[in-house]
Amino acid sequence: MGYHDLILERRGAIAVIRLNRPDKHNALNRRLSEELIDALDRVEADGSVHVVVLTGNGDRAFCAGADMAEAVNSDSGSAAYAPGRAVGRVLRFSKPVIAAVNGYAYGGGASLAINCDIRIAADTAKFRFVGVTYGLVVGASQLPRVVGAPVAKELTFTARVVEAEEALRIGLVNRVVPLAEVEATALEMAKAIADASPLAVQAAKAVIDKATDNTEAVRHEVETDRALRQSDDHRERFRAAAERLTGSGGNGPGK
């Protein structure tokens, strides 16, 4: 099946999923979100695929998060909720997923990255869990598993930018490599995983996820954001941010 905003490639037992909206910094609009869910469904059902590498097209952004202009201008809530469903689908994926973070990962893009099992970051990568700036909760359920509760609170409460080297130091990413090497490094690791027993690898993932179970926290974050989206505080903050980004040329990184 062909996609419009996503590229799905095969490298033997490895599937490469490439977010393909470089002109919008690979922001998750409704179509890309739906295509990402469809691609993951197909890859999960394909027994010949043992591991996935998820990355963004271009050399600036892994994913800028939700497409704010689309969400603000949509007549229904479907555009606003679609990115969250796509990010959640990655978390529920049964096979290993390696994020090749080829640029900045902000908001929902940062959540997309931490929902992957392993993160290989370019030295130009930046992360920002920007939710509180927009009156939402972003990444709070997953971050404690990755960096611990105190650091998770700092990153979510302040919404500050985390550069690649700090991300490595705090355990937010597994490795930092030059931008030109990020995808090759991810593919090399994927090959090592793909060569192992797929049943054992998937079982190991399930055991580790059970050992660090955060199902209730994920559910609570989703329910909390559903309520926060109805607040005047969120609507005003989100619209103002969308107007700033639109005036600066689109879904670039928030300030």
pLDDT of residue 253: 60
Alpha-carbon span 36 to 54, nearest angstrom: 10
pLDDT in tens, 114-155: 999 999 999 999 999 999 999 999 999 999 999 999 999 999
Q: What is the mean pLDDT of residues 90-117?
A: 97
pLDDT, averaged across the chain? 92
How big is the chain, counted in residues?
A: 255
From residue 165, alpha-carbon distances to 26, 126, 175, 176, 188 in Å are 23, 9, 9, 7, 21
Is residue 76 over pLDDT 70?
no
From residue 49, alpha-carbon distances to 131, 141, 178, 194, 199 in Å are 34, 28, 27, 8, 12
Q: Please name the residues in contact with 203: beta carbons below 8 A apart, sequence gap of 6 or more.
A: none
Between 162 and 243, the higher pLDDT residue: 162
Q: What are 15's two structure tokens?
A: 């599937």
The answer to whether residues 69 and 245 touch, using CB atoms and an 8 Å cutoff, is yes
Among 46-55, 93-102, 179-188, 216-225, whose mean pLDDT is lowest? Answer: 216-225
Domains of the chain: 6-247 (3.90.226.10)
Is residue 192 over pLDDT 70?
yes
Taking each continuous run of H as one helix and of E as one strand, the counts in the chain are 11, 10
pLDDT of residue 197: 98
Is residue 246 over pLDDT 90?
no
pLDDT of residue 251: 67
Alpha-carbon span 127 to 143, nearest angstrom: 12
Assign 235 a pLDDT band (cuts: 50, 70, 90): confident
Is residue 254 over pLDDT 50?
no
Between 72 and 33, the higher pLDDT residue: 33
pLDDT of residue 32: 97
What is the model's pTM?
0.93
Q: What are 37's two structure tokens?
A: 């869910």
Among 8-17, 49-58, 215-224, whose mean pLDDT is lowest? Answer: 215-224
